[in-house]
């Protein structure tokens, strides 16, 4: 492979293999990492065959190092290694540059271009450069030709060979004409320089990913049964092992703290700048940095199952993904090289067979452009201008326009605790018109507490009180409201003797999603849930009217507990807006988006929360069950909106899938199972305007790159055909076009969100 365009072709070839879920080709390392679909056996021979059919060489790579990044990150035990005949572009730049410098001084400074001995010297310098430096292009062109394809190597090889072959023929024929050995050598040198700069820029673009890969240390301090400490490779650890984290250690695995206290720096994982306190029971993640305390942790996840590995896989997938906007570039690139070859042939025939007409046409444009010195003979003009057309054309610029920007954008996002799954997500983020927030745990802090309880049947003779009944019903559920009620019940038992009798036994306990929980006790149906659900079940909730009115106006969620069709009590649960929620809503509005709120709460509660957050009350959807949130998204889409849904990524999965863009507010441990397009590794929502702003900046960069690539080729090829660009200038322009595209993408590294 010689450039990112080659890597792109190899990637597409691998992804075309049956059973391949995803593939990442690293141009610098010459390695492809392949992910297989679940249940599909890895078929390395099929991968190698596909790469070879694409015109590249490949051999299976077997590594014995279990901590090798390709294994630990992707889970693949084997990859396909793609290699090149020379060590790198540096050789071409140094050797070709030395020869080009001598020839430039001789021709442009000393004026020896027409001197016979200097022409022979030029031939002697150009021949080894053509063989040694040109071999990389010749090999690439031949491999592509062998499989019936053509790429940039084809154009470079044809252009350089045309200039060299004509000059060699003229030298041996004794023709008294200018020779183009300097141009032939300069073409290879300048294009190699462009590839060298491209490789350096690409390496900078993927710096964040490399930093992530290098975070997890290869060894860990394992504690034996007797407490003895030993340093072992991470590959030897198993689930359940105990490891010691000394001050300053990087965490090698995902685990749970069982002893000690410390503060860990999780900034590279979550983008959170402040250290996170860790005590017994807290989770620790691979790649994070221990502070000044000593911790003992139990291993819960290794290798590809860690949160870090999941993040790396997502970033790799994003870097390697394709956006819909790239289709136009792909269609043009597919026919670009054959079209350029035909234009070059037509240019050669025109200048060779109708030299006077070609000179006259070029002369008409000179007053509008610039004056040039044209070759003195039709044959020289035919060869040189045809070579210029071949060299100036750059299909790579079109191929790199989108992936370079996506790579840079994905890396910038990863450094800021934003995981963007693919290029489609970036593209969709830049076109959103409406943002729909879930309430609990997303717009609010998710730290729900019981603020008030009204026992409507005090002294009724029921077994236990309504408070205890509600707490016992909530205990088995993991819903945030149930957890809050259960905790409230336990605290009351500790503080009083009320309800100290044996807890009632339940039968047929079940959770009704989006409504509440119910069970049977002594044959009677008992329920805990929303008043709407209780009302639909035939329970009279009017005794709680005043309580409901008072607390919903304060933004509280009101639930009821009922036995045998009668309401026993109601409780108000309060949750606070996340800090900065108002600023986030305002910032999203300034970006030109409409902000909506969806919740299962009563309308009055939803309206109160909306007022606090600064959301228009007319854009609130209340008393919505989880399964209907997707219908709300669909309704907005039917109105012509492009909707982003922001939820916790678990109960909101259908809505996240239905939305044009799903944004999950999550912690690192949830990364692997989220179905969203964008994942916020921090639990706060301040990053949402930043994520959407970055996506818009990335989409803008893609459009700029595509415009430049099309404009460059559309302008450069006709200019070269008319004789306004010499082969040497064409080589410099072609090499720099790739660098400009990547350089423009790298500007995203300096992008800063401004609210």
Predicted confidence (pLDDT) per residue in 530-585, tens digit: 898 999 889 988 888 889 888 887 778 889 999 888 888 999 988 777 878 888 89
pLDDT of residue 502: 47
Kindly state the average pLDDT of the residues 714-732: 85
Residue intervals of the chain classified under CATH 3.30.70.100 are 4-84
Return the CATH class of domain 449-574.
Answer: alpha beta
Task: Note if 438 is an active site residue.
Answer: yes
Nearest to 567 by CA among 458, 471, 480: 458
pLDDT of residue 123: 93
- Label residue 298 exposed, middle or buried (CB < 10 Å: 0-12, 13-18, 19+): middle
Kindly state the average pLDDT of the residues 49-78: 59
Under the banding of pLDDT at 50, 70 and 90, the label for residue 218 is confident
pLDDT of residue 683: 60
Residue intervals of the chain classified under CATH 3.40.50.1000 are 432-444+577-659
Rounded to the nearest 10°, the torsion over CA 179, 181, 186, 192 is 140
Cβ-Cβ contacts under 8 Å for 299 (sequence gap 6 or more): 237, 238, 239, 240, 241, 242, 243, 253, 254, 255
| Catalytic one of 26, 241, 438, 670 | 438
pLDDT of residue 550: 86
Residue intervals of the chain classified under CATH 2.70.150.10 are 217-305
pLDDT digits (tens, 9 = 90+) for 97-127: 899 899 889 888 888 888 989 999 999 999 9
Kindly state the average pLDDT of the residues 717-732: 84
Cβ-Cβ contacts under 8 Å for 342 (sequence gap 6 or more): none
Kindly state the average pLDDT of the residues 208-232: 79
Q: What is the DSSP letter of 249?
A: P
pLDDT of residue 500: 43
% of the chain exceeding 70 in pLDDT: 82
CATH of 432-444+577-659 among 3.40.630.190, 3.90.45.10, 3.90.180.10, 3.40.50.1000: 3.40.50.1000
Q: Which residue has the tokens 């001789």?
A: 106
Q: Mark out the alpha helices in 283-325 (DSSP H runs).
A: 307-320
- Label residue 687 exposed, middle or buried (CB < 10 Å: 0-12, 13-18, 19+): buried
Residue 704 has pLDDT above 70, yes or no: yes
Under the banding of pLDDT at 50, 70 and 90, the label for residue 601 is confident
Residue 616 has pLDDT above 70, yes or no: yes
Kindly state the average pLDDT of the residues 268-285: 76
pLDDT of residue 11: 84
Which of 439-443, 642-646, 654-658 is least confident?
Answer: 439-443
pLDDT of residue 153: 79
% of the chain exceeding 90 in pLDDT: 11
**In CATH terms, is domain 217-305 a member of 3.40.50.720?**
no
pLDDT of residue 268: 63
* Mean residue pLDDT across the chain: 79
Give the CATH number of domain 4-84.
3.30.70.100
pLDDT of residue 476: 87
Residue intervals of the chain classified under CATH 3.40.1110.10 are 449-574
pLDDT of residue 611: 87
Cβ-Cβ contacts under 8 Å for 206 (sequence gap 6 or more): 319, 407, 411
- The sheet with strand 289-290 has its strands ordered as 276-278, 262-265, 289-290
Instruction: Pick the more confident residue, 178 or 290.
Output: 290
């Amino acid at each position: 492979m010689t450039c990112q365009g080659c890597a792109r072709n190899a990637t597409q070839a691998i992804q075309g293999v049956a059973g391949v879920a995803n593939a990442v080709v690293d141009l610098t390392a010459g390695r492809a990492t392949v992910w297989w679909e679940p249940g599909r056996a890895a078929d390395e021979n099929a991968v190698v065959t596909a790469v070879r059919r694409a015109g590249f060489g490949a051999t299976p790579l077997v590594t014995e190092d279990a901590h090798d990044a390709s294994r630990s990150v992707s889970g693949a035990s084997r990859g396909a290694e793609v290699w090149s005949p020379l060590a790198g572009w540096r050789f071409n730049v140094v050797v070709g540059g030395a020869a080009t410098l001598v020839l430039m001084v001789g021709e442009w400074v000393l004026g020896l271009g027409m001197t016979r001995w200097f022409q022979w010297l030029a031939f002697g310098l150009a021949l080894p450069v053509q063989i040694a430096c040109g071999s990389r292009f010749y090999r690439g062109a031949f491999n592509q030709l062998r499989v019936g394809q053509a790429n940039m190597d084809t154009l470079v090889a044809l252009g350089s060979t045309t200039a060299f072959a004509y000059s060699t023929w003229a030298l041996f024929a004794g023709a008294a004409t200018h020779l183009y050995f300097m141009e032939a050598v300069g073409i290879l040198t300048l294009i190699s320089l462009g590839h060298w700069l491209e490789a350096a820029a690409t390496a900078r673009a993927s710096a964040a990913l490399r930093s992530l890969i290098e975070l997890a240390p290869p060894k860990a301090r394992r504690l034996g049964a007797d407490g003895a400490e030993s340093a072992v490779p991470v590959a030897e650890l198993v689930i359940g092992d105990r490891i010691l984290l000394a001050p300053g250690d990087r965490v090698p695995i995902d685990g749970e703290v069982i002893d000690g206290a410390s503060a860990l720096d999780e900034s590279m994982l979550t983008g959170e700048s402040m250290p996170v306190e860790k005590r017994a029971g807290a989770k620790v993640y691979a790649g994070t940095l221990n502070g000044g305390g000593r911790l003992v942790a139990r291993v819960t996840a290794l290798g590809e199952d860690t949160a870090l590995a999941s993040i790396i896989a997502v970033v790799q997938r994003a870097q390697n993904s394709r956006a819909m906007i790239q289709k136009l570039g792909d269609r043009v690139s597919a026919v670009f090289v054959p079209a350029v070859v035909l234009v070059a042939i037509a240019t050669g025939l025109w200048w060779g067979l109708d030299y006077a007409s070609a000179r006259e046409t070029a002369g008409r444009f000179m007053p509008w452009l610039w004056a040039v010195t044209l070759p003195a003979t039709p044959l020289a003009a035919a060869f040189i201008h045809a070579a210029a057309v071949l060299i100036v054309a750059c299909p790579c610029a079109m191929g790199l326009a989108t992936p370079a920007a996506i790579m840079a954008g994905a890396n910038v996002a990863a450094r800021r605790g934003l995981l963007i799954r693919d290029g489609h997500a970036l593209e969709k983020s830049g076109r959103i018109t409406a943002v729909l927030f879930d309430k609990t745990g997303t717009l609010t802090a998710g730290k729900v507490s019981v603020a008030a309880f009204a026992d409507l049947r005090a002294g009724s003779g029921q077994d236990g009180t309504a408070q205890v009944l509600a707490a016992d019903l909530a205990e088995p559920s993991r819903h945030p409201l149930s957890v809050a009620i259960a905790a409230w019940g336990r605290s009351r038992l500790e503080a009083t003797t009320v309800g100290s009798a044996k807890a009632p036994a339940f039968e047929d306990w079940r959770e009704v999603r989006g409504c509440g929980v119910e069970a049977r006790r002594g044959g009677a149906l008992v329920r805990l849930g929303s008043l709407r659900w209780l009302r639909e079940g035939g329970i009279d909730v009017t005794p709680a009217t005043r309580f409901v009115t008072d607390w919903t106006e304060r933004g509280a969620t009101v639930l009821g507990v009922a036995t045998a069709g009668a309401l026993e009590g109601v409780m108000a649960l309060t949750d606070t807006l996340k800090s900065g929620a108002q600023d986030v809503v305002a910032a999203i509005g300034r970006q030109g988006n409409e902000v909506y709120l969806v919740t299962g709460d009563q309308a009055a509660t939803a309206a109160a929360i909306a007022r606090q957050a600064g959301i228009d009350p007319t854009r609130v959807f209340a008393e919505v069950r989880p399964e209907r949130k997707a219908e709300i998204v669909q309704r907005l889409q039917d109105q012509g909106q492009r909707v982003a849904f922001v939820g916790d990524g678990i109960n909101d999965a259908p809505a996240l899938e239905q939305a044009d863009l799903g944004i999950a507010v999550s912690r690192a441990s949830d990364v692997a199972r989220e179905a969203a397009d964008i994942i916020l590794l921090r639990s706060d929502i301040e990053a949402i305007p930043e994520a959407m702003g970055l996506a818009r900046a990335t989409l803008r960069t893609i459009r700029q790159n595509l415009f430049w690539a099309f404009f460059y080729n559309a302008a450069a090829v006709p200019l070269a055909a008319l004789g306004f660009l010499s082969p040497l200038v064409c080589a410099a322009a072609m090499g720099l076009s790739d660098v400009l595209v990547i350089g423009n993408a790298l500007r995203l590294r300096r992008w800063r969100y401004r609210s």
